[in-house]
Amino acid sequence: MARAQAGDQQAYRRLLQGITPYLRALAARHMRNGEDVEDTVQDVLLTLHSARNTYDPSRPFGPWLVAIANRRIVDGLRRRGRIESHESLVEADLETFSAPEANLQEETVDARLVREAIEQLPVGQRDALRMLKLEEMSLQEAAAASGTSVAALKVATHRAMKRLRELFLPRGSKS
C-alpha cells in the first residue's frame, strides 16, 4: 500500500488482486447471497481506493483493511435489512386495471434519464445526493467523507431533490 500511495500502479494492482479473495471470504462469512458478497467486496475496494491516502505506512496494513471491510460489511447488512423490510411477496395472480392511473409502472422514469439529470446537478448537490440517497451513508459518515457540515449536506440534498422533482414532475402536480 505504501508503494501504491507513492504512485506505483503495478503495486496497487497486485495489492487489489491479492486482497480480493480475502475480502470475498470475509464478506461470505456474514452474507448468504453471492451477489451481496460481490457487491460488498466492490464497495470495500471502492472505499479502499477513496481512503488510500489515509493509510499510515508506519502502521500495519491488515488491521486498517479489516476495519474498512467490517464497516462496509455492516453497511451492506443494514442496507439489505432495510430493503427486505420493504419487500413483500408477489402473488401469482396479479390484476390489471384499465384505468391509466392504476398502471403506475408506465409513468416510471427511465433510469438513464435520472442518471443524466443527477450529472447536471452542481457538484455539491450531486455528491450529497450520491452519499446520502444512493450509498445510504448516515449524515455523520457523509460529513466526514466530504468534509462538509451536516447542515450543508441536508441543504444540498434538499436542493438536489427539489431540482430533480422539477425536472421530472409536470407543473402543478404534487408528490
CATH code assigned at 53 = 1.10.1740.10
Q: Give the pLDDT band (50/70/90) at residue 7.
A: confident
Which pLDDT belongs to residue 135?
85
Which pLDDT belongs to residue 94?
55
**Do 122 and 71 sit in the same domain of this protein?**
no
The reply to whether 173 falls in a domain is no
Q: Which is higher by pLDDT, 96 or 45?
A: 45
Return d(Cα 16, Cα 22) in angstroms, integer: 10
Which pLDDT belongs to residue 173?
54
**Do 38 and 69 sit in the same domain of this protein?**
yes
- Which domain, by its residues, includes 157? 107-168
Chain segment 40-87, per-residue pLDDT in tens: 999 999 999 998 888 999 999 999 999 999 999 998 888 877 666 665
**Do 14 and 71 sit in the same domain of this protein?**
yes
The reply to whether 71 falls in a domain is yes
Can you tell me the mean pLDDT for 144-154? 90
The reply to whether 89 falls in a domain is no
Phi, psi of 99 (to 5 degrees): -65, 130
**Do 74 and 117 sit in the same domain of this protein?**
no
DSSP 44-85: HHHHHHHHGGG--TTS-HHHHHHHHHHHHHHHHHHHHHHHHH
Given a contact cutoff of 8 angstroms between Cβ atoms, the answer to whether 162 and 125 are in contact is no
**Do 73 and 113 sit in the same domain of this protein?**
no
Split into its structural domains, the chain has a count of 2
**Do 132 and 79 sit in the same domain of this protein?**
no
The reply to whether 133 falls in a domain is yes
Which pLDDT belongs to residue 166?
84
Question: Residue 96 pLDDT more than 70?
Answer: no
The reply to whether 51 falls in a domain is yes
Q: Give the pLDDT band (50/70/90) at residue 13.
A: very high
Return d(Cα 39, Cα 27) in angstroms, integer: 10
Which pLDDT belongs to residue 90?
59
Mean pLDDT across the chain: 83
Which pLDDT belongs to residue 46?
94
Which pLDDT belongs to residue 23?
93
Angle at 113 between CA 82 and CA 154, to 5 degrees: 50
* Reported pTM: 0.47
The reply to whether 175 falls in a domain is no
Chain segment 104-139, per-residue pLDDT in tens: 554 555 667 878 888 889 999 999 988 988 888 888
**Do 112 and 59 sit in the same domain of this protein?**
no
The reply to whether 17 falls in a domain is yes
